[in-house]
Chain A
C-alpha cells in the first residue's frame, strides 16, 4: 500500500503575487457587478467592455446607452462580434430600471450607463437580481459614483497618460490609465492599478507599477 502526499509551496514573490492578483481583479465572474466612475475620456468604456467580452461567446451583450453616444467599434475592438453586441438607447430614468431588469433575465452581460437621478434602492435591487441571475453587470454612472454596497468592484479613473502624439505629430497609440479599485474584489482595501491599452483587444495591467495600497490624505485617495 502506497500513499502519495503532495505539498505545494508558493515560490512567487510578494510583488508577483500582487501583480497576478491585480490581473484577476480586472475580471468579472457571473453575477458580479462592477461600477466605473470617472469622466468620459478616461478609458472606462473600454475597460467595461473588456470585463464583459469573455461572455460574448455564449450570447449577446447589451450596452444600455443613456447619452446616445455609444459606439460599437470599441466593443468590436475588444473582440466582441458585431452580431453579439446590441445597443439599447434609453435616457428615461423611469423605465431605465425595468429595461435593465428585463435584460438581466435574458442576456449574457449588461453594460449600463446609469442616468442621473436614479434612486439608490433601484440600484440595490438590480444588483441583487444580477447576482441571482448570475449575469455580469457593469454600471457606469453618467455623473458621480454608485452608492456603496452595490458593486463587487469599483474602479475610479484617476489619471490618463496617452502616448503617440507630440505637438501636432503622430497619432494616439497607447493609453495608461491609473485606476483606484475598491470593493469586495479588493478585499475591502483601496488599491491602485495601472492599465495599459494599445487599442487591441487586450488590456494589460502594467507590471512595473504593481498594485499598491492607496493612502487617504485629507479625505482624498492618492496613489502611494
Chain B
C-alpha cells in the first residue's frame, strides 16, 4: 500500500477475483471501506482509493516464509490458501505446555514478519477456522474450550453457503445448534448433499475421510530431463500433473481434500508442502495451488529450486467420495478426451492461444468480452455486463472483431459514406446508420469518435471515424 510524501498512507485496497474487497489499509478503512465490500461500493465511498488486483501467486510467495517459520515449531502444517494454514497442535500443546504457551511461541515467530496475524484453536479444522473468524485485531487469538457449545452457537452463515443460510433463516433456524437438532433424514431429503454436509458440521463432525476403494497408490509423479528452470514451464507441468491426479481418481468417484506437493531440485534438495481444501480439489483448483506453491519456491525469498526442477510429485492424502459431478449430457470419457485434446493443442499452438471468453460490460464489441487462457481461473469481468451502458452499439453484434480497429477505406461525400473498398474493388454503400457519438476516455487522452453501421451488397460493417480517418471495428459476418 502506497505512502505519500507527508508519510501518510493513501487509501488503497486489494480486490479479489470475485470483485470483493479482500484487503484495505487504514486510510481506506477511515473512509468506510471494509473487507468483503463490493469494489464498486468501495470506490463510491472513497473515490481516491487505489485498487490493486489480488495476485494469489505473489501472496503465496510472501506467505511461504511464514509457513516455514511455523513449521520450525510444529511439523506437518497444511496450507488452505495464501494467508491461511491449519496446524495440527495436539503434540505441540503438550510440548510447549498448553495452548496459551504455544500461541505465545507462535506470536514470537510471526512478529518478525510484521502485519496482523490471528490464531484460533479448536478440536477440528472447521471449528478452528470459525474460531479465527471470532478474533479481532485487539484480541488476535481465540481458544475454544467447549467445541460442542461453540459450534452450536455459530450463525448458519458459517456453513459457507449463502443460499442454504438464507433458507435456514427463512425457516427460523439461525444457529448451527438448531441445524443439528433437525432430523438427519429430513435435512438430506430437503437439501441433498449440501444439507448433509451442513448437518454433519453442525453436529461437530468434520468431514468423513474414509473413502470408497481407491487405487493402491494414487500418487502421480513427473520427472523432467533437462530440469525445468523457469516458472512458466513448471506451471504448465504442474497443471498436467494435477489433471492426471484428479483424472485418475475420478473413475472411482473420489477427489482429494489434501494433497502433498513435493518438488525435487537438481541438487537433490527436496521440498514438500501440504495443501488442504474444505471442498474437494478440482483439476483447476489443484493446478492453481500447485502453481502458487511452485511460484513461491522458485521466485520466493528462500533461494528457489537450485539447478531446476527434476521431479514433481502430488500425493493425495485425504480422499472423499465427492468426485466431480458431470452434467446430464456429459460423459466422463468425453470429458477426459476434451481435456487431453486441449492440453495437446495448447502444447502445439502455445499456452496463450487457447482461450475462453466471458461477457463483460462495454460500449464497443471489443470491450464486451473478457478473455481467459484455458485452464486458468476465469477472470472477473472488469465492467459489469448487467449495467445499461448508454451508447452501446445495438445488437446483433459483429461476428468478427479485430483486436484493434484497423484502417478501412471509405469515401465520404458531404459527410455521407459513398463507397467502401473491399479487397481490390470499390463497393457502393447501400445504406448506413449513425453517427453514434462516443466522447472517448478524455482522461486517457482518447479523443471523440463517431461510429457507423455501413451496409453494402457484400455485407455490413461497423466503423469508427476518428481524427478524420475511418477504422473497421467489426464485421457482421
Interface centre among B359, B435, B456, B475 (most CB of A within 10 A): B475
In the complex, A19 Cα to B476 Cα: how many Å? 26
Beta-carbon nearest neighbor of A133 in chain B:
B337
Is residue B303 within 8 Å, beta carbon to beta carbon, of the partner chain?
no
Q: Is the CB of B356 within 8 A of A82?
A: yes
Which B residues touch A214, using CB under 8 A?
none
Q: Is the CB of B341 within 8 A of A69?
A: no
Is residue A23 within 8 Å, beta carbon to beta carbon, of the partner chain?
no
List residues 147-167 of chain A with CB under 8 A from any CB of chain B: 159-160, 162, 164-167
Is residue B397 within 8 Å, beta carbon to beta carbon, of the partner chain?
yes
Which A residues touch B397, using CB under 8 A?
71, 73-74, 77
Stretch among A10-18, A168-176, A180-188 lining the B interface:
A168-176
Is residue A7 within 8 Å, beta carbon to beta carbon, of the partner chain?
no
Which B residues touch A70, using CB under 8 A?
399-401
Q: Is the CB of A165 within 8 A of B433?
A: yes
**B70 CB, nearest partner CB in chain A, Å:** 38
Which B residues touch A103, using CB under 8 A?
341, 345
B459 contact from A42, A60, A67, A77, Cβ within 8 A: A42
Contact flag A102-B358 (CB < 8 Å), given A41-B459, A77-B396: no
Is residue B338 within 8 Å, beta carbon to beta carbon, of the partner chain?
yes
A44 contact from B342, B402, B431, B477, Cβ within 8 A: B477
Is residue A6 within 8 Å, beta carbon to beta carbon, of the partner chain?
no
Q: Is the CB of B453 within 8 A of A165?
A: yes
Beta-carbon nearest neighbor of B403 in chain A:
A68
Q: Is the CB of A99 within 8 A of B345?
A: yes
A58 contact from B330, B341, B353, Cβ within 8 A: B330
Chain B contact surface mostly: mixed
Interface size on A, residues (CB 8 A): 56
**B19 CB, nearest partner CB in chain A, Å:** 17
Q: Is the CB of B357 within 8 A of A85?
A: yes
Is residue A107 within 8 Å, beta carbon to beta carbon, of the partner chain?
yes
List residues 383-411 of chain B with CB under 8 A from any CB of chain A: 394-403
A159 contact from B348, B374, B453, B457, Cβ within 8 A: B457
In the complex, A95 Cα to B349 Cα: how many Å? 8
Q: Is the CB of B459 within 8 A of A86?
A: no
A167 contact from B338, B374, B431, B435, Cβ within 8 A: B431
Which B residues touch A60, using CB under 8 A?
338
Which A residues touch B335, using CB under 8 A?
59
Interface size on B, residues (CB 8 A): 56
Contact flag A40-B475 (CB < 8 Å), given A73-B397, A165-B432: yes
Is residue B423 within 8 Å, beta carbon to beta carbon, of the partner chain?
yes
**B423 CB, nearest partner CB in chain A, Å:** 7
Q: Is the CB of B460 within 8 A of A71?
A: no
Beta-carbon nearest neighbor of A41 in chain B:
B459
Which B residues touch A223, using CB under 8 A?
none
Chain A contact surface mostly: mixed
Q: Is the CB of A106 within 8 A of B356?
A: no
Q: Is the CB of B341 within 8 A of A45?
A: no
Q: Mask for A44-78, Cβ within 8 A of B = 1, else 0?
A: 11100100000001111000000111111110110
Which B residues touch A68, using CB under 8 A?
402-403
Is residue B344 within 8 Å, beta carbon to beta carbon, of the partner chain?
yes
Q: Is the CB of B334 within 8 A of A41?
A: no
**A111 CB, nearest partner CB in chain B, Å:** 11
B401 contact from A71, A106, A169, A197, Cβ within 8 A: A71
In the complex, A59 Cα to B24 Cα: how many Å? 41
**B335 CB, nearest partner CB in chain A, Å:** 8
Contact flag A164-B337 (CB < 8 Å), given A41-B461, A87-B357: no
**B301 CB, nearest partner CB in chain A, Å:** 37
Residues of B within 8 A of A (CB): 329-330, 334-335, 337-342, 344-345, 348-349, 353-359, 365, 368-369, 374, 394-403, 416, 422-423, 430-435, 453, 455-461, 474-477
Query: Can you list 18 residue pairs at the A/B interface with Cβ under 8 Å?
Result: A41-B422, A58-B330, A68-B403, A69-B403, A71-B398, A71-B400, A72-B357, A73-B368, A73-B399, A74-B398, A88-B349, A98-B348, A102-B348, A162-B455, A162-B460, A165-B432, A172-B433, A172-B460
Residues of A within 8 A of B (CB): 39-46, 49, 57-60, 67-74, 76-77, 82-83, 85-90, 95, 98-99, 102-103, 105-108, 159-160, 162, 164-172, 175, 197-199
